[in-house]
Amino acid sequence: MAKAATFQDPMFHVETKAREALEAVRWPDGPICPHCGSSDPDKLAKVEGAKQSHRPGLYYCNDCKGQFTVTVGTVFERSKVPLTKWWMAAHMMNSGKNGVSAHEIHRALKVTYKTAWFMMHRLREAMIEAAPTPMGSLGGAVQSDETYYLNTSKRAKGYKKGLSQKAAVLALVDETTKTVRTFHIDKTATAAKVEQILFTNVNRKATLVTDESNLYKVLGKEFGDHQKMNHSAREYVNEGGYTTNNVENFFGVFKRGMRGTCSAVSST
């Protein structure tokens, strides 16, 4: 098991160590040319010299006659921000349970707020699956649940009750891959809106796990199996071992992050 990184790790302070750490992640079996895809060690040469006039970690590909470093083709390419700060920002984003704001990145890394905002958007972009496959494709269960959230205190002036005043969010959790997908639903969640999300993102042969909401009463029949938790009867794990605890735990972390870290969030 890989050792967890700490703030004392050299990759956060020494640029050479930061580059080597990225090479170990991106090229575990040796460098690969991002231009032509060549991985032949006899065709890839590391450019080294006494004058050090070249970029650190520069490689030359004899197949396509191109030069490259480990950052080419990544969100770090052509960035003037040191790789050590990129690693630190990524570490803070992934280790903070309730998320991290751009202002916190700006203060901790000693970069401008504009730079911190840009870095966070690039890192989030890098986390997106380029070609996402349907959840539950590996045969596991997919938990589905919805929640309503309003980032306003009940004591605030103009506060109005009712679900129509809140943002509807649906989340899907794949128990096998431990991945989560969230979707903002305009106004309130309806069976038609939930159906479109489920049919687009979940394998029809997967086991769908939900609460006893009427939204899934008909939709559940379209999947390989539909397991329901009867929360009104205090059932949180049924006889088959199925539960919606994972998706509900996600909503708990999500709401704490919204209240404690983010002052405002757009629907997109």
Domain limits of the chain? 141-154+166-260
Tell me phi and psi for residue 91, to 5 degrees.
Answer: -65, -45
Burial 122-159 (b: 16+ CB within 10 A, else e): bbeeeeeeeeeeebbeeeebbbbbbbeebeeeeeeeee
Closest by alpha carbon to 175, among 231, 241, 93? 241
Tens-level pLDDT at each residue, the chain (268 residues): 345 667 789 999 999 999 999 999 999 999 999 999 999 999 999 887 655 556 788 999 999 999 999 999 999 999 999 999 999 999 998 887 778 889 999 999 999 999 999 999 999 888 888 788 999 998 789 999 999 887 655 565 555 665 666 788 999 999 999 899 999 998 888 999 999 999 999 999 999 999 999 999 999 999 999 999 988 888 888 888 899 999 999 998 888 877 767 766 666 5
| pTM of this structure | 0.77
Q: In the structure, how many helices (H) and strands (E) does the chain have? A: 6, 8
Give the pairing of strands 59-61 and 44-46: antiparallel
141-154+166-260 is classed in which CATH architecture?
2-Layer Sandwich (3.30)
